[in-house]
Structure 1
């Protein structure tokens, strides 16, 4: 005797936690789901940028006019590892080889002044390499070491005769202080990371408002 079988509807309580999280219409869960999606998108973009550039941060925003006219305040600069695509060249080396970057010989580098990671990186042109003796003789450093002499294209003097708040006089740039070299820049887009906190607050506010509107529509239905 054949017995007919009836399909049983799945019990919501038996659904996996991930499934319930995906399907839940609770406002708090929906908001969390939207924020998680945004975080995943941002994380994926960051990972792709790192893989392409070979360094981090892979983009920096220009905050001052020291590199005018080639780099404007608010430009978003894409950064690659110092040896990516080609060796890092100073302006002195660039004049010999014909290498031009942002309108002038030599690469524009992004570096941590005096190796201090708590200070915003500086984006200036690499001019020439000096050894410890040259740093002592030409620049009169008390504890000289070799490195790269740098200067903003729009600045009248090299960085190594100036001081930086919190660290004192800027030293010749050691290789390990270099984050990378500038590849290209996109105008105005850099204003976004310069105001990342305000932008994040705006995005979260939009998501919350959108979720509240959607929740009210569901209640009416």
Structure 2
């Protein structure tokens, strides 16, 4: 039995090394295709329902990769400028962003339109999404304190900027954009995250 032990350990070690090599190869390929790390995110809230639900796994890419035909200089297509192009169920790109003031998980919402610094964006806004404001003076972050995207979760009643969830999203805050999703595959990641 002792003469077999070294060969069993070699077989086991070989299997472990092959598995690790396969995982590393997949990781390298995903990074090469998407240009970002991590190349997948799990949806943590219902803010993007019905297009993205809690527990869905979203494959993301660098914002300039796979840009739609109406993409701006940052590689993002806003819903208002989409000319029918869209991702994840509606027009425009879904972006993943992290304002500096937000310490918890990044936000994944749709880029609706772009504003310039000092712009009165109330005039361009869909007034259904401005939380009852009747003018720019009644809105958070209006006029725009800096250039950036006005965003909204597909399931949210108001723009993120109308509820002070985030100021206009600077292009430098955009980490990636959603390309497609796999329902429920992110649930395991969310459950694992709950323990740490």
Q: TM-score range by the shorter chain?
A: 0.7 to 0.9
2:148 aligned residue: 147
1:181 aligns with 2:177: yes
Structure number having the greater helix percentage: 1
TM-score, scaled to structure 2: 0.72
Contact 1:114 1:170 in 2 (8 A): no
TM-score, scaled to structure 1: 0.65
Q: 1:132 aligns with which of 107, 110, 117?
A: 117
Pick the structure with greater CA Rg: 1
Whole-angstrom CA distance in 1 between matches of 2:15 and 2:158: 49
Whole-angstrom CA distance in 1 between matches of 2:13 and 2:169: 44
**SS of residue in 1 equivalent to 2:58:** strand
1:48 aligns with 2:29: yes
**SS of residue in 2 equivalent to 1:134:** coil
Q: 1:93 aligns with which of 73, 81, 86?
A: 81
Q: CA deviation at 1:26?
A: 8.1
In the alignment of these two chains, the number of paired residues is 168
2:126 aligned residue: none
1:66 aligns with 2:40: no
User: Using a 3 Å threshold, how does the CA distance of structure 1 residues 92 and 49 change in structure 2: closer, same or farther?
Assistant: same
2:63 aligned residue: 82
Whole-angstrom CA distance in 1 between matches of 2:150 and 2:169: 7
2:108 aligned residue: 123
After alignment, is 145-154 or 186-195 more displaced?
A: 186-195
Name the Cα RMSD after superposition.
3.1
User: Using a 3 Å threshold, how does the CA distance of structure 1 residues 25 and 151 change in structure 2: closer, same or farther?
Assistant: same
Q: CA deviation at 1:37?
A: 4.8
Gaps of 5+ in 2: 123-135
